[in-house]
Chain A
Amino acid sequence: MLDRLKLVAPVRSKFMMQEMLEAGADEVYVGVRHPLLQQLSFDNRFQTVAGYPAHFENWESLQEVIDLAKRKSVQVIFMANASYIPRELEQAYIGHVARAVELGVDFVTVSSFQTLELLKNFQKRVAFISGSTIAPVNKYGVRMLREKGIARITVGHSTALKEIRSWKQEGLEMMITGNFGTGSVPASCRLWESPNNAEIGEGIRSGYRVEFPDGSIASQMTLLDSATDCSLCNLEELVEAGVRAIKFIGREAPNPVSLSLVVDVFRQWKELGLENVSIADKKEIMEQEQLMWVMKWVPRFCEKCRCTYLPTRTNQIYV
């Protein structure tokens, strides 16, 4: 079953594409900046984050990457997942996506019923993925997306494995996010990072001075941080539950090489899973072969209990 799991990697340049191909990506996702916008975009990522770009600068450079993807039989997802488009920009948005479709992308990701409707004429030419901002929270949400023509849904971070399993019968491909969760419900969180200010990050993971009702004060506390960042130990169960793709966040990664190592770790776990290697043995192999595993992964995810699907304090108190 694990061989059906696709690894979906972020790409913003030809160099990043080559790194992700090397790491074993099965699909890549891309966005292109629009000249009307300075830092906003027609997808769900600002044009720069902490000074690093998240988009292709122009269509020519994207074309080059799409051609490379075709040669390598890697599918390309075009991100058009803005949570809404102002009326005045609807035509510019449609034109933007039309250009990507002309270039030969395989999927378009949308994140609102508005944009899905705006792009309905493209549904015969490309498959549509629903993004996290319209991630369903119950099976009726899944059905609504299916009825609207969505081929693959992005499952929200705070969705329990048993809930994902119960949606399998709805017959849609499901995709989870592999890294960098926020813990918030995407459509309900407006504490976005600012692209213009290195000190204004995602509010949900910021450190806060906290004043409790009894007057006690914590001078530094990540009170809102309920993020889950890793699903490696549940890959087999996720595939069993109907998950067919894992998407990695980070088009704006300062170092594409480091991010490609994350994709590479998932690829190795997938391959070891295909050989029926146990979780304990996989971890041992990682310790012996992957410096990044020891230096970053374990302290950052395992030791901090950032598991998305294994029981943790964070997901045991889901409301």
Chain B
Amino acid sequence: MNTSKKELRVHHDQLYTLPSLFLEDYDTICLGHSGCIHKMAGLAEEHIQYILQQGKSAKIELPILFETHFERVMEKVQQFFHLPLNIVVNDWGTLHYLVSQQNLPHVSFSLGRQLVYSLMNCPWYEDILQNETDDIRKAYLQVNVDSDSILALLQQYGVKEIDLDMGPGMQESIQSLRKEGIAINAFLDYAMASMSRSCHTVRAYNESVGNCGYLCNEAIYIEPRQRWNRFEDTMIRIAKENRQKLGELIVYGNIVVQNKEWTGEEPFEVDSICDDFRFSPKQIGQEAVK
């Protein structure tokens, strides 16, 4: 994949621990979270100032903002809006709100991975598509925002960039989106598979929300073993061959990612590649030392 730009996504509490040499690789640093406002506790203007002082572009990713937290989170985030900043939004309502605000000359918007996907982002998409014709299979690997009507909406809302979990069959969509002026920020591994509002990690550790931020720094690995039958409320054992098709998933808090890297096909261009250490078993400390 060809690009000259790289982005780093980390938790803000790791930012100051990263050596300058490591940061040299990156043009943009993004803080924030894809799924939980509680992982944003402590995020402050100083963090953004630090990124800008390093000569990097700064981004903040906003999780899906549920009604209960919306005003509180927005009040805090808006304090940063006098700085040059890209906001990654993960729900349409938040984008709708932000765009309706006047006087945001320094702020631009991206769509996050909760809003951008393709059928191939299902870990077992090949099983789902197996009986479709070649044309249909190819068509459904397109990215969901690759349509004239969504492009018009993005233009209306001033969205210039999208995050995208890369996968096979997306080249045409990527070319089409880039042609329309939408930059592609590509994620090559640990694709988003699911997000829930009731936190998996908090449930697993019987912790309470708000005291839980440390729990989701480490990966919980899960392998499907039983299918749930909706109508009988029973579990059906998954045979070994099917378990292999399903692969392994990793849980970080309320986020589930696929444990696989996309190795790519023939080279094509994107606008940046993002190393996301928030939902990856790669330890940023060790990577920084390397």
Contact = CB atoms under 8 A, between A and B. Distances in A.
B251 A199 contact: no
A50 B236 CA distance: 12
Given A113-B149, A190-B122, A223-B251, A163 B66 contact: yes
Interface stretch (A11-19, A236-244, A252-260, A264-272): A252-260
Given A89-B139, A190-B117, A254-B231, A213 B218 contact: yes
Contacts of B145: 84
B147 A206 contact: no
A250 B232 CA distance: 12
Contact of A134 (B92, B128, B196): B92
A163 B123 CA distance: 32
Interface in A79-134: 83-90, 112-114, 116-118, 134
A203 B94 CA distance: 28
Contacts of A212: 204, 220
Contact of B147 (A84, A162, A166): A84
A224 B97 contact: no
Nearest to A316: B209
B147 A200 contact: no
Given A191-B123, A258-B231, A226 B224 contact: no
A137 B251 CA distance: 23
Given A90-B147, A201-B227, A203-B194, A194 B127 contact: yes
Contacts of A255: 231
Given A203-B249, A226-B200, A87 B147 contact: yes
Interface stretch (A33-41, A53-61, A66-74): A33-41
Interface size class of A (residues with CB under 8 A): 35 or more
A194 B68 contact: no
Contacts of A162: 68
Interface stretch (B1-9, B35-43, B267-275): B35-43
Q: Which of B67, B68, B127, B203 has the most CB of A within 10 A?
A: B67
B180 interface: no
Contacts of A311: none
A196 B130 contact: yes
B91 A203 contact: no
Which of A195, A197, A317 lies at the interface centre, i.e. has the most chain B CB atoms within 10 A of its CB?
A317
A203 B189 CA distance: 20
B183 interface: no
A253 to B, nearest CB: 6
A137 to B, nearest CB: 5
Given A39-B132, A209-B222, A213-B219, A317 B230 contact: no
Given A140-B94, A318-B66, A189 B195 contact: yes
A226 B122 contact: no
Contacts of B233: 296, 300
Interface in B190-235: 192-200, 202-204, 208-209, 218-231, 233, 235
Nearest to B235: A207
Contact of A209 (B37, B65, B100, B223): B223
B239 A114 contact: no
Contact of B128 (A36, A196, A254): A196
A198 interface: yes
Nearest to A147: B96
B57 interface: no
Given A224-B196, A314-B203, A140 B96 contact: yes
A144 interface: yes
Interface string B145-175: 1111110110000000000000000000000
Contacts of B67: 137-139, 159-160, 163, 166-167
B284 interface: no
Interface centre among A39, A190, A205, A254 (most CB of B within 10 A): A190
A224 to B, nearest CB: 6
A211 B70 contact: no
Nearest to A182: B196
B246 interface: yes
B184 interface: no
Contacts of A185: 64, 114, 195-197
Given A223-B251, A317-B199, A83 B144 contact: yes
A198 B231 contact: no
A194 B128 contact: yes
Which of the listed residues B66, B131, B193 has the most CB atoms from chain A within 10 Å of its own CB?
B66
**Interface centre among A114, A166, A180, by most B CB within 10 Å?**
A114
Contact of A183 (B124, B142, B198): B198
Given A38-B132, A223-B220, A208 B225 contact: yes
Contact of B115 (A163, A187, A226): A187
Interface-centre pick from A184, A224, A225 (highest chain B CB count, 10 A):
A224
Contacts of A183: 196-198
A138 B66 contact: yes
A191 to B, nearest CB: 5
A211 B194 contact: no
14 contacts: A36-B133, A46-B128, A86-B139, A136-B93, A138-B91, A187-B114, A188-B90, A191-B193, A200-B245, A201-B236, A223-B220, A223-B251, A226-B197, A254-B231
Given A84-B145, A184-B194, 5 more contacts: A36-B133, A87-B147, A88-B139, A163-B67, A212-B220
